[in-house]
Amino acid sequence: MNRRKLLSLLGMSPVLLTKASAKAESLPKNAEAESDTGSAGGKVTAVNPKGTPPAIKLIPMAPRLDSLDGKTVYLVDTGFHGSDTLLEQIQIWFKENMPDVKTVFRRKAGPYAQDDPALWKEIKEKGNAVIMAVGH
């Protein structure tokens, strides 16, 4: 599935996103009245059972760097099995292919969905970019 299709599943049309409009489009159509073969005869009106999703605040991405030369990249392990080994291999890749880049490996403390404010503070002070490994 491509990103456009995925987002429309979410009820977010790409058009909508580009315009950043707060107005919702009624995407799902009414059930079409098809051939009236059902033994349950006439038409009835039924309510939509869906809850109310929160409005989404768009977050601009952080500005990119001109180049990674001489920069410090933090490699952050979220704690899933195998992430540490993958990030080690990324570290080796930088050493071999972009030796000017300094890499720092950190395992995020706390469960995977929890923030680690101390780590974020450290990265903000000492780092220029982050690569996070998620999944296993």
Partner 1 sequence: MNRRNLLSLLGMSPVLLAGATAEAKTKAKKAVASAGGAKLEVLNPRGMPPPITLIPMAPRLSSLDGKTIFLVSDGFPGADRFLAEVGDWFQKNMPSVHTEYRLKAGGFADDDPKLNAEVKAKGNAVIMAIGH
Partner 2 sequence: MGIPAVPMVTIAFKDLAKTNCAKRGMPLQRIAFTPHPVWGKTDEQMYAYLEGNDPVSGKNLMKEVVDNLTRPLTADESKTGVVTPPVGAPTFIDTSDNLQQYFLDNGMTDFMPIILPTQEKVDAMLKGTSHKPDEVVGKMTPARGAFPEWSYTVKQVAVNAVMAGATPDYFPTILAIASTGISALFSSTNSLVSAAVINGPIRDKLQMNYGIGAMGPFNQPNATIGRAWTLISKNLDGGGIAGETYMGSQGSVINYNNLIIPENEKDSPWTPFHVQKGFKATDNVISFFFGFSISQGQGAKGLGMRPVPHFHEAMSANFAPFASLFGAMVVCDPLVANGLGDLGYKTKEQLADWLQKNTTVTVKDVKTMLFSGLPRGPQAANLTDDMVIPKWPKTDAFNFIVCGGQTNPYHQVANMSYRLSVSIDKWV
Partner 3 sequence: MGIPSVPVITKAFKNLVVLNAAKRGMPHERITFTPHPVWGKTPDELRAYVNGPDPVSGKPMMKEIVASLTTPLTDDEKKTGMVSVSIGPPTFTDTLDNLQEFYMNNGYTDFMPIIVPTEEKVETMLKATSHHPDEMVGKMAAGAYPPWSYNVRQVAASAVMAGARPEYFPIILAIASSGIASLFSSTNSFAFAMVINGPIRDKLEFNYGIGALGPFAQANATIGRAWTILSKNLGNGGIPGDTYLGSLGNNLNYNNVVIAEDEANSPWPPFHVQRGFKPEENVVSIFRGLGVVPGQVARGSSVNQNPEFDHQLSDLFSTFTGFFGALIIADPLVARRLKEQGYDTKEQLIQWLYKNTTQTVKDYKSRNYAYLFDYPRALQGVEPYATWYKLPDDTVIPHFPRASDFNIVVAGGQTNAYPQAGNLSYGVSVSIDKWM
The interface with partner 2 within residues 74-93 (CB under 8 A) comprises 81-82, 85
User: Please, what is the minimum distance in Å from the beta carbon of residue 114 to partner 3?
Assistant: 8
CA distance 69 to 55: 39
Report the candidate in 121, 122, 83 with the shortest Cα–Cα distance to residue 104: 122
Minimum separation from the CB atom of position 68 to partner 3 (A): 6
Query: Within a 13 Å sphere around the CA of 55, how many CA atoms are in the beta-carbon half?
Result: 8
Residues from 94 through 123 that contact partner 3 (CB under 8 A):
97-98, 107-113, 120, 123
Nearer to partner 1 by Cβ, of 28 and 41: the residue is: 41
Both tokens of 117, joined, read 């404010």
Residue numbers 33-62 binding partner 2 by CB under 8 A: 39-40
Which residues inside 8-67 make contact with partner 1, applying CB under 8 A? 39-42
Size of the site for partner 2 (CB under 8 A): 6
Quick check: 27 binds partner 3 (CB under 8 A)? yes
C-alpha–C-alpha distance, residues 102 and 4, integer Å: 36
- Distance between CA 84 and CA 36 in Å, rounded? 59
